[in-house]
Amino acid sequence: MEIVFLGTGGGRINLLKQIRGTGGFRINSTSANIHIDPGPGALVHSVKLRQSLLDIDAVIVTHGHLDHYSDAMVLIEGMSAYGLKKRGIFICNKNSIDYVSPWHKSKIGELYLVVNGEKKTFKTEKGSFEIETMAMKHDEESAFGFKLFMDEKVIGHITDTEYFDGLEKGFEGCDLLIVNCIKPEPDKYKGHLETADVIKILKKAKPKKCVITHMGIKMLRAGPLKQAERIKNETGIETVAAKDGMRIIC
Ligand SMILES: [Zn+2]
Ligand SMILES: [Zn+2]
């Protein structure tokens, strides 16, 4: 299985200035190709990184913020073979589906509006995968994180959320945990994780490996590599700071 990072930036400044891209990431596996959180640039960076939109099997949108859903309709056009077939799985929360046009909705093969805490299996043309979702604490209140069970691996993703008691509980047993860590230190804005939160989460969830992504301007100034090093030193867990275009084999 391969994970391709199409955009590793987060936050409002980054969204408009594109210091780091905002296209989300994609998992290519033998059972499914899944694009997660296709923000602005998902299409352009997919094409540049030779990630064909035509062979996407599923799209996941974790919440209705622009940097997570803006390119979702383009991906649906790819997934549905230029809109000629009704094909592909679209997994999102109840708010994000409002940003998909009726025509694009009609091209989705299977739509799943997430019910947090539920575990659901999906069949693709190549095999199957399972998703387990968990509620996040973000200003978009139906945001969800998830664990994907596919190719005998468990990939976890903690999307935009602030830390809350028990957050790590839902992310135990991950081979790889991809965490949106927007800032290095606390600030007055709530709703996002900082480096110390990731350390707290990893100490309890104990994934085999962690990737931090969705980095905001303060994180980029502080140096993502240094922050990843800090997390690794304090938890003993291999931690990588994602870069645009980076590929990880899991
Ligand atoms: Zn975000
Ligand atoms: Zn958000």
Question: How far, in Å, is the centroid of ligand 1 from the Cα of 23?
Answer: 11
Q: What's the pLDDT at 89?
A: 98
Q: How many residues does the chain have?
A: 250
Half-sphere exposure in the Cβ direction for 184 (13 Å, CA): 15
Q: Report strand pairing: 89-92 vs 58-61.
A: parallel
Q: How big is the chain by its Cα radius of gyration, in Å?
A: 17
Q: Which ligand lies nearest to the CA atom of residue 64 in the structure? A: 2
Token pair for residue 39?
């923000």
Question: How far, in Å, is the centroid of ligand 2 from the Cα of 10?
Answer: 9
Question: How far, in Å, is the centroid of ligand 2 from the Cα of 50?
Answer: 27
Q: Which ligand lies nearest to the CA atom of residue 20 in the structure? A: 1
Q: Which ligand lies nearest to the CA atom of residue 137 in the structure? A: 2
Q: Report strand pairing: 110-113 vs 89-92.
A: parallel
CB atoms within 10 A of CB 83: 15
Q: What's the pLDDT at 108?
A: 98
In degrees and rounded to multiples of 5, residue 247 shows phi and psi of: -120, 140
Question: How far, in Å, is the centroid of ligand 1 from the Cα of 67?
Answer: 6
Q: What's the pLDDT at 99?
A: 97
Question: How far, in Å, is the centroid of ligand 1 from the Cα of 210?
Answer: 18
Q: What long-range pairs does 222-229 form, CB within 8 A, spacing at least 24?
A: 222/184, 222/185, 227/181, 227/184, 227/195
Q: What's the pLDDT at 66?
A: 96
How are the residues of the chain apportioned to helix, strand and coil, as percentages rounded to the nearest 5? 30, 30, 40
Instruction: Report pTM.
Output: 0.98
Q: What's the pLDDT at 248?
A: 97
Report how far residue 218's alpha carbon sits from residue 192's, in angstroms, rounded to the nearest whole number: 13
Report how far residue 103's alpha carbon sits from residue 101's, in angstroms, rounded to the nearest whole number: 5
Question: How far, in Å, is the centroid of ligand 1 from the Cα of 155?
Answer: 19
Domains and CATH numbers, the chain: 2-249 (3.60.15.10)
Q: Which ligand lies nearest to the CA atom of residue 15 in the structure? A: 1
Token pair for residue 23?
């296209």
CB atoms within 10 A of CB 128: 12
Q: Report strand pairing: 238-241 vs 33-36.
A: unpaired
Question: How far, in Å, is the centroid of ligand 1 from the Cα of 33?
Answer: 22
Q: What's the pLDDT at 174?
A: 98
226 Cβ contact partners less than 8 Å away, ≥ 6 residues apart: none
Q: Per-residue pLDDT for the chain (250 aa), expressed as one digit of tens each?
A: 999 999 999 999 999 999 999 999 999 999 999 999 999 999 999 999 999 999 999 999 999 999 999 999 999 999 999 999 999 999 999 999 999 999 999 999 999 999 999 999 999 999 999 999 999 999 999 999 999 999 999 999 999 999 999 999 999 999 999 999 999 999 988 999 999 999 999 999 999 999 999 999 999 999 999 999 999 999 999 999 999 999 999 9
Q: What's the pLDDT at 65?
A: 97
